[in-house]
Each structure stands twice: as C-alpha cells, then as structure tokens.
Amino acid sequence: MLVCGRAAWNKSRQVGWYRRSIGSCPLKDKSFLLYSGNALKAKILKGVTENDVAMAMLESRPITGNPLNHIRQSIKKGRAILMKTIKTFVALLLCALLCVSSVALADTKTIGIIQFAPHPSLDNCTTGFLEGLAEGGYMDGDTLKVDFQNAMGDMGTGDMQAKIMVSNGYDMLAGVATPAAMSAYAATKEDGVPVVFVAVSDAVAAGVVKSNEEPGTNCTGVSDVLNLEAQVQMIRAFLPEAKTIGIIYTISEPNSVTHLGQLNAIAPTYDFAVEAVGVNTADEVAAAAATLAGRVDCINNFTDNNVVNNLALVLRAADGAGIPVFGSEVEQVVNGCLATQGIDYVALGRVAGRMAAEILNDNAKPETMPVGLIDECTPAYNSTVAAKLGIALPEAYADAADVAP
C-alpha cells in the first residue's frame, strides 16, 4: 500500500504532489491508503491502480477541499484526457490511411477493352495492346484495371458493352477492330471519354476520326494498312497463270469497302480481274465462298472481321474447288491459307498500347495525337498447304517464313 505521512500530506497541497508521493511510496494490492492528521486515520480508496495514479498525474494541480474527492476527480479527468488523446490519435491514423488509399485509387486507371470477335488476329492485337500499356507504366492488376469484353462478332453487343463501360465511369475505352472502335466512339463522343483503337484499317471512313494527321475527336489509335500491292505481287508469283481473284467482304465494314476499292485499282496492273461478293452476316459467308470457289483462281482475304472469324468455311469451299486462299496476316496462314504479306499484329497492338499510356499520363490528347499507320509486312507461307495444292515456293519468296504447324 501507499502510505503518506504528515510531511507528505503537507506537500500534497503543492503542484506535482502525485509525482513525489509515487516516487517514494510504492503501490501494493491495487489500493491507495492515505494517512492524514495526528490520529493517523486511514482512508482507503479501493480500485486505484498504478495506471489510475498515472492518469491523475496528468491533471496535477494544487489540492483543495477533501483530498479523497480531489483524487477521484483527478483520476476521472486523467482518464478523460487519455481517452481524448487516444481518439485524436486514432482519428489521425484513419485520416492518414484514407489519404494513402485515395492516392492509390487515384493512380489506378480503368480501361474497357472491346474486341470485336474471337479470332487469332484480334487476339494478337489485344495481347500487344496490354504489353504496350505495361511498357508505359500501366500493368494490369497493379496500376491498371482491365475490363475485357468480346462482342463475338456482333456490333449490337459491342454497342451495349461500350455503353455499360461509359456508365461505369471508365477512364478509357479501347476498340480492337473497326466495328468495336465504332461502338466505343458512339458511346463516348458526348462525354469525351478517350478511345484508342487497334487495327482499324480506315479510321476516317469508319467515322471515328476526321483525319489521320489530326483526329479532331476523342479517338486515336493504330491502323493496319494492308500492302495490297505486295499481296497481289505475291499472288502472281505463286499463281503465274491465274486470271481472277475472288473476294468476300462484309458490306457494313468500312475497312473492307476501302480495301476492295484499292484492290480494284491495283489488280489490272498485274493482269488480274477481281470478282467480289458482299455479305451482311456470318450466315452468308459459307454461301458466298461456295459461289466464288467455282468461278475464280484463288480467294484473297482482307482484314474483314466477319470473314476471318469464319475462315474455316472459306477454306472448306476453296479446298473443295482445289484453289488456294491468301491470308491478310500470318495467323490465317497457320490455320490453312497458302501465303501472306502480313502485318505483325502483336507489334501493332503494342504501338497502340503505348499511345494509350501517353494519354492516361496526360502527356497527349486523342484529338491531336496522329493515328499510327502500320504497313510494314513480312512474307509467310504454309508448306503443307502448298504441297497439297501442288504449288512450288517461288524463288522470290525463298526467305519467306514457313509457318506450317
């Protein structure tokens, strides 16, 4: 017990009494025993702990009136001071945590990616796009949240996906292929949410930019410019006696309409005629392929998403007629086309991803960021298909990559 005699009691009237008393009189049995006066009458304050005395010390002041009440009041006030201090500390800690959390959230961006159809060419575009974003400092799952959606070849689905992304307040939309880019632009042009497109062959014809040099809208991106002259030269080298190139194209895809016009201008220079059949939906591709296969010497694919997504139907009709199909990129050759002067779509997507990162970093704006035009192509062929058709590899393409599985 803490025993304080007359000398200690007299001193107790001075500021700091608790400190002197505690320093010389140890606590025992969790009670505080106070002796006062000549009669040495004991006053016991039950339940007083070492912590309570420390709290009382926080409120040190001269003692007046009943010392027992003073001790009780001091302990009560000491506890209040301590609780106030704890509450203040907790509030400051929570504030700091919220600030850190807010900064982290502010640094994380959300992008909605709409890929028009599930075929290898567009898969490569998406892969490259994410790689380019990572190179620019936006890693999926770290500084970037990605909502990937596939429209499964249906533009109405793409339109709905884009509208949902805008309503969710995404920082950017990306459209992989022309129809997806058109869906993204239609959903964002009022609010101005940035859109970066990948593999849109003719962005002006698609209506998503005013010009490639200065888009003038909330859209920019990378165009896959088919080197159709190099493609026609290749067809002539593989088929020196051929006269007619068949084309299946989707009427609603501006890129295909543009490519058809370019091919019609180039083909006569190499003594080719062009026979084209337009389709509206995937259901019409098989019939169009069957019609062409009996009339032409070969079929050439554009970057037509509807047709490429149904490449197996085209290849089946061509195989039945014993004619080759020339692809617009290497994945089509891997899957059964004879040859291509194709673009590297992973590399193309990577360029678009880096552009998207620049916009997210506020280093560029879509309306003034020129559209990237990628037209570099590399020859590739499928030796298995060539052997089946009895076609020899032309000497001019001896260095072409053989991508036969």
| Residue 328 CB partners (closer than 8 Å, separation 6+) | 121, 226, 231, 300, 301, 302, 303, 308, 340, 342
Helices within 189-253 (DSSP H only):
203-206, 228-238
pLDDT(266) > 80? yes
- Which pLDDT band holds residue 15 (cuts at 50, 70, 90)? very low
Residue 17: predicted pLDDT = 37
Q: Right CATH number for 108-225+347-374 from 2.60.120.10, 1.10.8.100, 3.40.50.2300, 3.40.50.11030?
A: 3.40.50.2300
Residue 379: predicted pLDDT = 97
> In a 3-state reduction of DSSP, which class is residue 215?
coil
Contact of 84 with 161, CB cutoff 8 Å: no
Distance separating alpha carbons of residues 174 and 184, to the nearest angstrom: 7
Beta pairing, strands 378-381 & 401-402: parallel
pLDDT(98) > 90? no
Distance separating alpha carbons of residues 328 and 342, to the nearest angstrom: 6
Give tens-digit pLDDT for 349-399. 999 999 999 999 999 999 999 999 998 899 999 999 999 999 999 999 999
CATH topology of domain 228-342+376-402: Rossmann fold (3.40.50)
Query: How many other CB atoms sit within 10 Å of the CB of residue 117?
Result: 23
Residue 3: predicted pLDDT = 38
Residue 86: predicted pLDDT = 73
Domain ranges of the chain: 6-85, 108-225+347-374, 228-342+376-402
Residue 88: predicted pLDDT = 72
Distance of CA 9 to the CA centre of its chain: 75
Average pLDDT over residues 42-52: 48
pLDDT(9) > 80? no
Give tens-digit pLDDT for 112-130. 999 999 988 999 999 999 9
| Residue 93 CB partners (closer than 8 Å, separation 6+) | none
**Which amino acid is residue 143, in one-letter code?**
T
The DSSP letter of residue 201 is S
Q: Which two tokens stand for residue 283?
A: 């259901």
Q: Which two tokens stand for residue 251?
A: 């009427």
Contact of 389 with 337, CB cutoff 8 Å: no
**Phi, psi torsion values for 381, nearest 5 degrees:** -145, 170
